[in-house]
Each structure stands twice: as C-alpha cells, then as structure tokens.
Amino acid sequence: MEPTGNKSGKKKVVAVVGGGLGGALNACYFAKRGFQVQVFESREDIRAAKVVKGRSINLALSHRGRSALKHVGMEEKVVSKGIPMHARMIHSLKGNSFALLQAVASLGACQIMKVSCKSFVTRFLCDFSAAAEVYPNTKLNFDHKLQDWNAETGNMTFVRADGTKEHIEADLIVGCDGAFSAVRKQFMRRSRFNYSQTYIPHGYKELTMPPIDGDFAMKPNYLHIWPRNTFMMIALPNLDFTFTCTLFMPFEEFEKITTGDEVISFFQTYFPDAIPLIGAEALKRDYFRLPAQAMVSVKCSSYHIADKCVLMGDAAHAIVPFYGQGMNAGFEDCIVFEEIMEQFNENLSEVLPEYTRVRVPDDHAIADLAMYNYVEMRAHVNSKWFLFRKYVDNFLHALMPGSIIPLYTMVTFTRTRYHKAVERWQWQERVRKV
C-alpha cells in the first residue's frame, strides 16, 4: 500500500513514543499519509531478544481492532496467526461445563481472534517492519528512553542504552508508551489536566495447561471460565496446543497460599477439574514462579496539548482486561484519529482538540465496562436468572436485530461508540422493566 502523501505539502516529522502494538500501528497510519515517522522504544528490539519482558495477559482481537488493521492492510496477516473464539465455556464447581453463546449472527460479525501477547507483539513488529519497506519514511529506534520533551517546541531528549543522548525535534509527538507513560508526565504538570489511576484489589497469576497426546486438553475455540463469585480462572488456547490459564483473585487470597500443598488444596476446592489438566507438580511449581501481578485503570483528559502532542492507547486510557477491549480500543484510537485527520484535512490545530472531544467519553465508558464485566464473569454467570436473560436477549436480537442489540454485541462486534453503546444498553434495560 503506497503512501498517500501529506496534504499540507510539507513532510512533517511525527515522533511516536512507544514501539508496542499501538505505536507500531500508529506509525503505519502516519507513514501512509506521507509523514516522516520515527518510532522510539525504550526496550531492546524484542524481535531479536531471547527473553521478552513485560506483561503477558492474553489478547482478544475483535471487530474494532480488525477494522483498524484492515485500513493499513494488516488484518489478514494478524488474523492468520490467531485462534478464533466462538463463545464462553463455563466450568461449574461440580466439573460440568456449558457454552454461553453471544448474539452476533444478524450483524455478520467477524470472529474474535485470540492472540498471545508477547509472541504477538514480536510478530506484529516483524509485520510492521515489512510494512516499513513500503513506507521508507519510517524508522524504528530501540533502546531509546524518553528523558524530556518540550510541549511548545517539540524538542525531545532520548537516552540510549549506552548512556548517550539524542535530541530530535518533531512537529507532532504521539504518546503510545503505556499506562505509566513518560509522555503523559508533561501533561500532568499543566493546569486543568484531569487524571485518575485506580488499582483494583485483585491480581493475577498465569499457569500453563500442556497438550494431551499432542492436542489441546480442552476444546480450543472458547474462552474457558471457572467463575467462583469473588474470583475466577480463565483459559485461552495457544498455537502450540497449550492453554494459558489466568487466575484472578484478591491479593489477600493469593497471600494466604504459601506452600505447594496449599495450592493443591485450593485447586481441589475450587478448580478440581483443572488439576489433572495442568498437572499437580507443574501447578505447585508454576504458582510460585512469579508474585501476583497488579492491574491498573487509568483515565485522563484532555488527550492533547495544542497541536504538538496527543496521547493514545494505554497512555490515555489503560483499562483492566475483563472486556477484551484494551488492545481493540488502542487500535481503534488509530482509525478514529485517521478519520478526524481526513475530516480536517490534516490541520493538527483542529484535529487534536476534536480527537479529545470524540475519544474521551468513549474511553472512559469502556474503562467502566471493563470493571463491570469482571463482576459478570466471576459471579453473574453462576446465576440462572442471568443466564436466562442472556438467552432472552439473544432471542430478541434474532427477532428484532435493529431494535434489541445486546451490550456485548455492540462493544465487541460493531464500531458503535462505546459511550453510545452504554446509553443504548441502559435504554434497553429501562424498556425491559416497563
């Protein structure tokens, strides 16, 4: 796909800080428009690294993210390396399981694809590098840690791995450097910048369920959930026929378990069917491999400073992982910004304020929904009344697809703005009670 060229005639410099998923995709968008793009990542080049550091919660690629990838010709490459997910598989305490389907048929919805975080980031950057051959106006810079930047001039100072410094000047700085963004620190020094950071009282640990006779130990095309009211475990398949199991639980509950025998006793009480699938010895070993990891939710506003800087992805809206929308929301940032760039003919003094106006209410809405969905996944799916309502919603959606659309369907299988989806869901709930 050839660059379209910058409409202003001048090749402006865009500095994308953060070389993860959102940063790499943003670079493709700006390069396609003809900007001179430089991506700066503080870590080493993970494509060549033997050990990839960082969080590894499984990722679910759905309609919003796929739409953003499709715009720069990367959807098929990414989807080909994922596993389609058809429904939730609920595992009861008694060892029974049943599928909980979502209503999507009338929308012709694309499938949710499960991808593994660390390997996906590596492959994505490899694909991005291939795309960069089409976009010669793009450069990746690893081992570059942002030390400081100036919101008025666009001057930036990076520290390389060898301790030397590099100074560049950019027309636009795009902060895609995660929940603890170095770019965002400048925003926090300015007046009228709203910011909140919330750690939820639950952490997570990851465990591995190995293959059985060279095949998946459970049905692979499902999000497997063991809901236990105040905590839960989920499992998602990997291309190597393993499952990654993630145990979400209050930190104080994790801290009560201090020995291998206590791990087995805990699993015998709450997840007995998982013990033979994971393996008792592996379970006792892997449980203590790392401490429980924290999860943070970040909200802020505004997302821009004049026409010089904009925040995207987790730097603007880190969310907890329970709606499977973190990556999708970050990818959707790219296409929303692109649509606004088209609307305002790349006039950054108009584009950036409009991006803040459009995107902030949506990102705050999905942050709240992600919190809500944790309660649904660990507790509500145990309720027969909740399950009955799910089936009724799906039935009504099949009968009246234009009138009744389940919230999950709007969020996961359409690009309905997040806050509009919440408003419509609340309206449907009010109508249901009449």
Q: What residues contact residue 109 under an 8 Å CB cut-off, 6+ apart?
A: 63, 409, 412, 413, 414
- Are both 193 and 206 inside the same structural domain? no
> What does the DSSP 8-state code read for residue 90?
E
Closest CA to 140 of 20, 11, 10, 1: 20
pLDDT at 56: 53
- Calpha distance 46→116 (Å, rounded): 15
161 and 27 share one domain: yes
Give me the number of domains the chain comprises. 2
Residue 135 lies inside a defined structural domain of this protein: yes
Burial class (CB in 10 A: 0-12, 13-18, 19+), 27: buried
Find out whether 220 and 213 touch, Cβ atoms under 8 Å.
no
Q: Is residue 224 part of a domain?
A: yes
What is residue 233's three-state secondary structure? strand
In a shared domain, residues 132 and 253: no
Residue 417: inside a domain: no
Residue 42 sits in the same domain as residue 176: yes
Q: Where in the sequence is the domain holding 71, given as residue range(s)?
A: 13-85+111-197+297-374
Both 366 and 240 in a single domain?
no
Residues 224, 260 within the same domain: yes
Any domain includes 323 = yes
Q: Which of 264, 287, 310 is the last residue of a domain?
A: 287
* Same domain? 232 vs 246: yes
For residues 68 and 23, state if they share a domain: yes
**How far apart are the C-alpha atoms of 73 and 235, rounded to whole Å?**
30
The residue among 374, 389, 404 that closes a domain is: 374
Q: Same domain, yes or no, for 143 and 192?
A: yes
Are 280 and 233 found together in one domain?
A: yes
pLDDT for 115 equals: 72
User: Would you say residue 130 lies in a domain?
Assistant: yes
Give the strand order in the sheet containing 87-91.
Answer: 97-100, 87-91, 222-227, 232-237, 243-250, 202-209
Residues 25 and 125 in one domain: yes
Do 58 and 76 reside in the same domain of the chain? yes
Average pLDDT per block of 10 residues along the chain, 434 residues long = 52 92 91 93 76 60 93 86 86 76 47 67 60 74 94 94 94 96 94 94 94 95 90 91 94 96 96 96 94 95 96 96 92 97 96 98 95 69 55 57 77 94 84 62
Q: List the CATH number of the domain containing 130.
A: 3.50.50.60
